[in-house]
Structure 1
């Protein structure tokens, strides 16, 4: 009975020691788990801050904003011009910040004040463009049908949608009108000369059977 009791006490004693060691191990393990749970969150906060810092350096949008961290660990982007604040962070992106730059009245006012003056928009003149087209046809010997070519119309429409090409017969009339105007200018130039001069003409034909006259 004593042996059994001693054995029982031994077992009980051994059991108590085991429970203490197990409890100690459990406490240590739980503390270890708590530390492991805390550590990644710290690393996550640091990595988030680093990513935001890198993004600030890379994106030009941050030239117009100040990045501020709030007490709860979140970030705000504050406009340097109108002082409005916006959500900032890796998941927020910068599209809303870029949009604000385009509509910020104070920023646009500064750009108009200190920016370069706007270039004057050229005024379209239908008659002048029509005469220029006719002179091009005359100078290069193009066909009057050029005004009706499909890609000629597309090309000129993309350059100036307001320009209206004329029919080939109208283009021919424009070329003849310009020819008469230029011939009159030559006559008037000769009349203004106070000296005598002689002119020599030479006729020749191009390989495409186009006739030309050279005047010296």
Structure 2
């Protein structure tokens, strides 16, 4: 029997998750919490096998709660269940120690599998999250970093996309961030590279091997 603590700030969502889990064999909901702080208290009190954790909640962030639970209760796994699928949130959750990441809207079978997998120490991701992480890993490996050590990994990826001719909107869609976020990154890139225009940045980037496809062709 896998004991589960459900953490979400919306009562209707918690009720829905509890109802879903109650219908599954081998799953027992042992408690609920509506914030990161209450999740910590309940986790220490109940010591569940798995905590289903939302990310952005008032009264205590789910990422910080995940970090503290994973640190204090190594036998309790945290499975993130949220609507947020931006790369920064996913990576923050994994760095905090989450053992899985699913999006709200995941099917019953997917959630059931993820809970049992997390309880025995496996790591599990929803299909779109797994693809996003794979794309990010491949993209990071493909972009040569030696020529621009002053840039962060994300800035390097954005410079690569600029060198390929992508506009800000396309880059924002690719990384699932706001256009303003991309604009801020580009301003930082231009300042670090001491260039004033997009054209200058493209020439510099392509001269150093960026802006090419995975096969290495222009």
Q: Which has the higher helix share?
A: 1
Q: Same fold (TM over 0.5)?
A: no
Give the TM-score normalised by the residue count of structure 2. 0.24
Using CA pairs under 8 Å that are at least 6 residues apart, name the structure with larger relative contact order, 1 or 2.
2
Bigger Cα Rg: 1
Give the TM-score normalised by the residue count of structure 1. 0.25
